[in-house]
Amino acid sequence: MVDKPAGPTSHDVVDRVRRALGTRRAGHTGTLDPFATGVLPVCLGKATRLARFLTGTDKTYRATLRLGFATNTDDLTGDPLGPPRAVEVSPEALDRACRALTGPLMQAAPAFSAKWVKGRRAYDLARVGIEAPRPVSPVTVHHIEVLGHEKDLIEIEVRCSAGTYVRALARDLGEALGTGGHLVPLRRTVSGPFTMSEAVAWDEIGPEARITAMAHLLPEMPAVTVTEPGLEALRHGRALDARLVAAGFPAAPPPPRLRVLDHAGNLIAVAVPQGFETPGPGLTLEPVLHPDIVLVD
């Protein structure tokens, strides 16, 4: 996990990790814009196969919004969309605007985003001046806490679902306040189970850097421990019945997925329960854990 500085892209961070650790198998789990900083989890080796589970987790950000005008990118890198407006925002109006943007929302993506529009990336269309409908996606903003407010600057902490654009949130907050607004600094402090306390600084990336073991990933999934025959079954991609599980075999209804551990507590697979539903008349089903991802050779 890297504490990304302002400037490099998320892909630049992954390239630096690859070179420093001498590995080709690396990938990040949630893009940060170049001007943004903070927690960027980077998966290595077999852990890259778990990236899809880590990408979809909640995130927490600290952000500063500048009121008075919007930009075409919804952040400090863009061009103003109009002349600056006077900013006189009361604490009560700010509280109302934050509450209105909390909860399940249908959020319009920024004009400059990686969303697909008519077969092209939105930012490709925006760069050549083609106006196109902005893709709208369901997101959840769990909370917005105002940390500071002075003149045209507002500092907030946001906890939100994956896929939420904080710069779009800044845009919408500015619109709700009637002043326009855009995102200035942005720092991600939490990404799923990862926090700043575990992140490695940019200049500390190297063989000596602290790496989180796979056994500590996906703690939200219940775990089962396999027997030695169960371990062999996984190596051949076979499903696990209750006889191949030493501990933790679920009862009905089971969770959507489970972590599979060996006797030493190492994460060796992610499995999907099958056959736990009530069978029809005259039918029998044997509950099994079907390997979705196998991490053991």
- Exactly one of 3, 12, 15, 33 is catalytic; name it: 33
Going by their DSSP bridges, the two strands 223-226 and 258-261 should be labelled as parallel
Residue 175 three-state SS:
helix
Residue 139 neighbours by CB under 8 Å, 6+ apart: 104, 105, 106, 107, 160, 161, 163, 164
Evaluated on CA atoms 112, 114, 115, 119, the torsion sign reads: positive
**Lookup: tokens for 190:** 């939490």
The reply to whether 33 belongs to the active site is yes
**How many whole angstroms from its chain centre is CA 246?**
33
**Lookup: tokens for 39:** 């927690």
**Lookup: tokens for 104:** 């399940």
**How many other CB atoms are found less than 10 A from the CB of residue 21?**
18
Strand partners, 103: 141
Contact 51, 162 (CB under 8 A): no
Tell me the H-state helices in the chain: 10-21, 51-55, 91-100, 122-127, 166-176, 228-235
**How many whole angstroms from its chain centre is CA 57?**
5
Ramachandran angles phi, psi of 12, nearest 5°:
-60, -40
Catalytic residue list = 33
